[in-house]
């Protein structure tokens, strides 16, 4: 490392305690201490045709004359997306790395710190980045260097009397936020009355002195201006997450009263200045922040009911999820009610509210592909509702648990819990629950390979719906998709076996034609409901149903695939936008088949690879079995066929046994044909 004179150390280096470095940078900042090194670098810059790389936190002042030519200077504090993703890949982080890079705005130190900690503590799973505490990561990865450097700044500013006290107060304000602080929030904190132990130095401060304090901290690179975060919210300030977390800990531990009072003030400010029910995800952001501040202030009940339930979810409409697909933002809000996630809900809430939040957390974790994390809160929520004899909600939780177990590949458990959900629904007397839970049970039975039982349950559910909603006699939304999935099963198997036209294909198509026509009619009617209500996921699933019906029909009849493509592409796009990771492989599998039929084998393999990556990360063993079966059926992959059998048998995935047997017969026949003399 080069020896450089420092003024204010940029980023997170410890400041000198020298009195020569009080308010301005040192006049020799950035100059090399060793004359020999200075001469060497100047000589290289002037004449060397090779390469010399100098890395330092300060700009090298002695090379300034060469910056425009042989010694260009690049600031690497922020990495572009591609470089950040590559760094995480080299560290061993897997999953959607770009999300982490975007979350931290490409900050190199943060990417390295979080990435290294994820690999060390969480097997490199990028989805668990919200579990990383910077203090712990800094201690484990860097020996606590960053927090020690910030503490040095704190001690130094603490000795600077009036100006230093103001700057420390500003930094402590930033510790109240988990994101850039907008001007409106900062103004609310600076208003009368002062919050003892926090804003004493800032209340009544004129704008000139405030700006001087901010400017000094910006010069030290402890703060940075932030873009305006919302209409009318003013210019904001940001600080590195390490700095925010350091001062949050200091304030929470040393001045808990000030901590709660400040968060309470921010909660009230955001509650009162945000439109009641914003329509966009950007518009909802202040309400998500209000939830966090309300929980820190000890006002969990107000935050849960008044903000999260009534204004973000809009009650039973579940607006943020069904209309915006905001599963990640919602999970962040729900996490505020837990300590630690996802085991203990705040005791400040009622038992009913705690059970509700356990399910909310589990549902969002599942949608984001964090399946194993979702199990514990979902089971705990169900047990709470059973204890309260709240049978309607117990049915809902048992049904969700069955769906989760099915995604995790535990088909027998999924069947048992789905059956239990029907029992709870019948006890509740709620017709809607009685209908919905029978479709969950039916789907579990279908995946287990019990077609007759599944069909009877779907028909019973549809009978209940016809009585409950005469204007909508057919199952729609996810129940409707599941029913169509069952109705398509035979045509799917036939298309996979035939793989072409001709007399045999025409005969098979004739047997499946009635089912395909019924599915098409159902999906065309239900997609109107989904589009009218702006349900992102349901619309995508209906497109997928229409696309599958068109694909299987075209394969069996030997006709054009254009109708299938017209439905499958919006289905895949919609499943991605819906934010439900556990549904995306459905679309990718169908599109892979379409691409293969169109002759684009490379693209088909790419979709199967992506589906496999999502399923492996889940873990989602049934989708892994599907991927293996598709590889065997489309590409003649014998190793994949062996893996498909292993997965199907190990997980009780009876639905695929017929297709598995077909694929084995076809591959065996192909092998025998090649061996004939």
Contact yes or no for 200/272 (Cβ under 8 A):
no
Per DSSP, helices labelled H in 178-326 are: 183-190, 207-219, 241-254, 256-273, 281-296, 300-301, 319-322
Q: What is the pLDDT of residues 532-556, one digit of tens each?
A: 999 999 999 999 999 999 999 999 8
- Percent of residues, the chain, with pLDDT higher than 70: 87
Computed on alpha carbons and rounded to an integer, the radius of gyration of the chain in Å comes to 30
Return the number of other C-beta atoms located less than 10 Å from residue 649's C-beta: 13
Q: Looking at residue 11, what is its pLDDT?
A: 37
Per DSSP, 43 falls in state H
Q: What is the pLDDT of residues 121-144, one digit of tens each?
A: 778 888 887 777 766 666 666 566
Return the number of other C-beta atoms located less than 10 Å from residue 614's C-beta: 22
CA distance 400 to 355: 13
CA distance 114 to 341: 18
Is pLDDT of 447 > 60?
yes
pLDDT band for position 23 (cuts 50, 70, 90) = very low
Is pLDDT of 27 > 50?
no
Lowest mean pLDDT among 25-39, 325-339, 490-504: 25-39
Compare 146 and 111 and report the one with higher pLDDT: 111
pLDDT band for position 308 (cuts 50, 70, 90) = very high
Q: What is the pLDDT of residues 146-195, one digit of tens each?
A: 677 777 767 877 766 788 889 999 999 999 998 889 999 999 999 999 99
Q: Looking at residue 9, what is its pLDDT?
A: 31
Q: What is the per-residue DSSP string for 424-473?
A: HHHHHT-HHHHHHHHHHHHHHHHHTT-HHHHHHHHHHHHHHHHHH-TT--
Region class of 559: left (phi > 0), else alpha (psi between -120 and 50), else beta: beta
- Residue 32 phi/psi, 5-degree rounding, is -70, 140
Q: Looking at residue 139, what is its pLDDT?
A: 65
- Residue 54 phi/psi, 5-degree rounding, is -110, 125
Is pLDDT of 145 > 80?
no
Q: What is the pLDDT of residues 556-595, one digit of tens each?
A: 888 999 999 999 999 999 999 998 899 999 999 999 999 9
Tell me the average pLDDT of the chain.
86
Q: Looking at residue 138, what is its pLDDT?
A: 62
Whether omega before 342 lies within 30 degrees of 0, making that bond cis, reads yes
Token pair 């090649």 in the structure block, residue: 674
Return the number of other C-beta atoms located less than 10 Å from residue 517's C-beta: 12
Q: Looking at residue 118, what is its pLDDT?
A: 82
pTM of the model: 0.76
* SS3 state of residue 554: helix
CA distance 543 to 641: 29
pLDDT band for position 465 (cuts 50, 70, 90) = very high
Residue 32's DSSP bridge partners are: 4
Q: Looking at residue 223, what is its pLDDT?
A: 86
Return the number of other C-beta atoms located less than 10 Å from residue 519's C-beta: 25
Please give the average per-residue pLDDT across 366-391, as a whole number: 92
Is pLDDT of 631 > 80?
yes
- Please state the separation of Cα 415 from the chain's center in Å: 28
Contact yes or no for 136/147 (Cβ under 8 A):
no
Which of the given ranges, 70-74, 221-225, 347-351, has the highest pLDDT on average? 347-351
CA distance 546 to 558: 18
* SS3 state of residue 125: strand
* Long-range interactions of 249-254: CB distance < 8 A, separation 24+: 249/135, 249/175, 250/154, 250/172, 250/175, 251/172, 251/175, 251/176, 251/198
Q: Looking at residue 503, what is its pLDDT?
A: 40
Q: Looking at residue 41, what is its pLDDT?
A: 85
Which candidate, 443, 471, 432, places its Cα nearest to that of 541? 443
Whether omega before 513 lies within 30 degrees of 0, making that bond cis, reads no
Q: What is the per-residue DSSP string for 521-547?
A: HHHHHHHHHHHHHT-HHHHHHHHHHHH
Which residues contact residue 665 at a Cβ distance below 8 angstroms, ignoring those fewer than 6 apart? none
Q: Looking at residue 26, what is its pLDDT?
A: 38
Q: What is the pLDDT of residues 259-300, one digit of tens each?
A: 999 999 999 999 999 999 999 999 999 999 999 999 999 999
Please give the average per-residue pLDDT across 637-666, as a whole number: 95
Torsion of CA 514, 515, 516, 517, to 10 degrees: 50
> Exposure of 433 by Cβ count < 10 A (0-12 exposed, 13-18 middle, 19+ buried)?
buried
pLDDT band for position 649 (cuts 50, 70, 90) = very high
Is pLDDT of 418 > 70?
yes
Q: Looking at residue 234, what is its pLDDT?
A: 54
- Percent of residues, the chain, with pLDDT higher than 90: 60
CA distance 673 to 677: 9
Please give the average per-residue pLDDT across 211-223, as a whole number: 85
Q: What is the pLDDT of residues 41-56, one digit of tens each?
A: 888 888 778 888 887 7
Q: Looking at residue 110, what is its pLDDT?
A: 75
Residue 254 structure tokens:
């040393």
Contact yes or no for 467/633 (Cβ under 8 A):
no
How many angstroms separate the Cα of 590 from the Cα of each of 78, 307, 398?
A: 39, 40, 30
Which candidate, 604, 627, 606, 605, places its Cα nearest to that of 615? 627
């Amino acid at each position: 490392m080069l020896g450089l004179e420092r003024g204010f150390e940029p980023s997170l280096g410890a400041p000198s305690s020298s009195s020569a470095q009080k308010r301005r940078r040192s006049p020799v900042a950035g100059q090399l201490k060793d004359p020999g090194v200075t001469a060497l670098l100047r000589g290289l810059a002037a004449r060397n045709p090779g390469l010399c790389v100098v890395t330092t936190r300060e700009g090298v002042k002695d090379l300034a004359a060469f910056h425009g030519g042989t010694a260009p200077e690049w600031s690497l504090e922020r990495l572009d997306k591609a470089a950040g993703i590559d760094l995480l890949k080299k560290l061993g982080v897997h999953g959607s790395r770009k999300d982490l890079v975007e979350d931290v705005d490409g900050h190199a130190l943060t990417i390295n710190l979080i990435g290294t900690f994820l690999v060390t503590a969480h097997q490199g799973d990028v989805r668990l980045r919200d579990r990383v505490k910077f203090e712990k990561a800094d201690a484990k990865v860097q020996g606590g260097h960053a927090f020690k450097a910030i503490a040095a700044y704190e001690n130094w500013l603490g000795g600077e009397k009036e100006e230093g006290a103001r700057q420390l107060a500003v930094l402590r304000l930033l510790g109240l936020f988990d994101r850039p602080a907008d001007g409106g929030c900062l103004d609310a904190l600076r208003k009368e009355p002062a919050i003892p132990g926090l804003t004493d130095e800032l209340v009544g401060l004129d704008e000139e002195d405030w700006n001087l304090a901010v400017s000094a901290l910006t010069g030290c690179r402890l703060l940075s201006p932030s873009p305006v975060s919302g209409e009318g919210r003013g210019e904001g300030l940001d600080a590195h997450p390490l700095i925010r977390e350091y001062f949050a800990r200091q304030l929470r531990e040393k001045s808990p009263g000030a901590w709660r009072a400040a968060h309470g003030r921010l909660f009230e400010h955001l509650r009162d200045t945000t439109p009641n029910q914003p329509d966009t995800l950007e518009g909802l952001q202040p309400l998500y922040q209000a939830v966090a501040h309300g929980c820190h202030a000890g006002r969990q009940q107000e935050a849960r009911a008044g903000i999260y339930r009534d204004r973000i979810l809009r009650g039973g409409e579940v607006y943020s999820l069904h209309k915006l697909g905001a599963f990640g933002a919602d999970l962040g809000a729900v996490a505020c009610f837990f300590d630690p996630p996802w085991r203990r809900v705040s005791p400040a809430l009622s038992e009913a509210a705690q059970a509700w939040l356990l399910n909310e957390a589990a549902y969002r974790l599942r949608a984001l592909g964090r399946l194993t994390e979702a199990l514990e809160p979902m089971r705990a929520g169900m047990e709470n509702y059973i204890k309260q004899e709240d049978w309607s909600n117990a049915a809902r939780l048992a049904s969700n648990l069955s769906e989760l177990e099915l995604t995790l590949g535990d088909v027998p458990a999924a069947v048992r819990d789905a059956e239990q959900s029907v029992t709870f629904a019948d006890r509740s007397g709620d017709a809607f629950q009685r209908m919905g839970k029978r479709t969950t049970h039916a789907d579990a039975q279908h995946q287990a390979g019990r077609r007759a039982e599944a069909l009877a349950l779907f028909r019973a559910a549809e009978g209940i719906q016809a009585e409950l909603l005469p204007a909508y006699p057919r199952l729609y939304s996810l129940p409707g998709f599941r029913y169509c999935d069952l109705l398509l099963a035979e045509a799917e198997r036939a298309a996979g076996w035939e793989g072409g036209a001709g007399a045999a294909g025409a005969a098979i198509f004739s047997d499946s034609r009635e089912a395909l026509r019924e599915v098409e009619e159902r999906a065309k009617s239900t997609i109107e409901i989904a589009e009218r209500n702006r349900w992102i996921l349901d619309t995508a699933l209906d497109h997928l149903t229409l696309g599958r019906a068109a694909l299987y029909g075209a394969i069996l009849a030997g006709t054009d695939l254009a109708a299938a493509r017209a439905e499958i592409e919006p289905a895949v796009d919609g499943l991605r936008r819906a934010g439900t990771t556990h549904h995306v492989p459905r679309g990718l599998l169908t599109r892979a088949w379409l691409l293969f039929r169109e002759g684009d084998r490379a693209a088909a393999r790419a979709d199967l690879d992506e589906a496999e990556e999502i399923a492996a990360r889940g873990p989602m063993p049934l989708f892994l079995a599907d991927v293996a079966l598709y590889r065997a059926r489309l590409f003649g992959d014998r190793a994949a066929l062996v893996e498909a059998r292993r997965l199907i048998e190990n997980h009780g995935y009876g639905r695929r046994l017929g297709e598995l047997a077909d694929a084995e017969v076809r591959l065996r026949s192909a092998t025998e044909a090649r061996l004939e003399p």
